[in-house]
Amino acid sequence: MSEQDARWAQAEAHAGFNGLLYTLPALWVNHPNRNALAAFPPVALAAAARSGLSVPRTLITNDLAEAREFVAALPGEVAAYKALGTTHPSDHDDRPQALWTTQVRPGEIDESVGRTAHQFQEWVDKAYEVRLTAVGCQLFAAEIHAGSAASRLDFRADYDSLTYKPCELPKHIARGVHMLMFTFGLRYAALDFLVNPQGRWHLIEVNPNGQWGFVPDLRAPITRALADLLERAHP
């Protein structure tokens, strides 16, 4: 087929096949439409704040002056720059690659910010991170302690340096997560928190398709919970 015909055929296949799947009275973990909505950081962070969870101050903009002004007003005049959940094509091939979280200061932001949307977030001085995995009504949480400079900026950058410790959830965090799951109609999600030295939890990301297998002590319990959820007789 020509390129134009191939695009049309792909769109038709997507509408037909996915449309048929979406009609099934099945239990979805999670329904693709609910996943798609929860995966937008602006939507997820706003819903988290309404659910009673603490969210760092966040700006999404392509305006140079706004970006510099926002970062300059933050403690230490430093922000976390994070991709909005997307991947970037590799310099060597077309395979996608993740963009790790980095620190940015006002003077480091230049005119190139105007080319697309950028997310700047208040930098949280963390004692450790928490990966919280929600399966139905069950919540599984583990502290993630960084062992290198790279993993202190973004733990995904150096998994080999990380140590994990299952932890209990504060009651207000559990209530907020349950409310967030209800808001989006999710049955599964992975949420990332930064915990500062004073013990305050800050939600920084909601991933309705997040991994759980990299936390050794929680691998089996989460797998069992997912299996139990999928074995329910009714959706």
Q: For 118-145, write each residue's pLDDT tens digit.
A: 999 999 999 999 999 999 999 999 999 9
Same domain, 160 and 204: yes
Q: For 145-203, write each residue's pLDDT tens digit.
A: 998 988 888 888 888 899 999 999 999 999 999 999 999 999 999 999 999 999 999 99
**Boundary of a domain, candidates 95, 123, 151:** 123
Q: Is residue 1 part of a domain?
A: no
Q: Are 32 and 18 in contact (CB under 8 A)?
A: yes
pLDDT for position 83? 87
Same domain, 134 and 115: no
Q: Are 156 and 100 in contact (CB under 8 A)?
A: yes
Q: Are 167 and 142 in contact (CB under 8 A)?
A: yes
Report, as an integer, the average pLDDT of 86-107.
73
**Boundary of a domain, candidates 67, 99, 123:** 123
Domain containing residue 82:
57-123
Same domain, 77 and 47: no
pLDDT-based confidence at residue 97 (cuts at 50, 70, 90): low
Q: Are 107 and 48 in contact (CB under 8 A)?
A: no
Same domain, 158 and 119: no
Spatial distance between the Cα atoms of 3 and 98, rounded to a whole number of angstroms: 28
DSSP 170: P
Q: For 7-48, write each residue's pLDDT tens digit.
A: 999 999 999 999 999 888 889 999 999 999 999 999 999 999
Q: Is residue 150 part of a domain?
A: yes
Same domain, 65 and 156: no
Same domain, 191 and 226: yes
Same domain, 233 and 157: yes
Same domain, 141 and 198: yes
Q: Is residue 18 part of a domain?
A: no
CATH number at residue 78: 3.30.1490
- The CA-based dihedral angle spanning residues 153, 159, 162, 168, taken in that order and rounded to the nearest 10 degrees: 90
pLDDT for position 25? 85
pLDDT for position 232? 79
Same domain, 225 and 163: yes
Distance separating the N- and C-terminal Cα atoms of the chain: 40
Same domain, 151 and 177: yes
pLDDT for position 84? 87
Same domain, 51 and 155: yes
pLDDT for position 192? 96
Number of domains forming the structure of the chain: 2
**Boundary of a domain, candidates 98, 123, 148:** 123
pLDDT-based confidence at residue 96 (cuts at 50, 70, 90): low
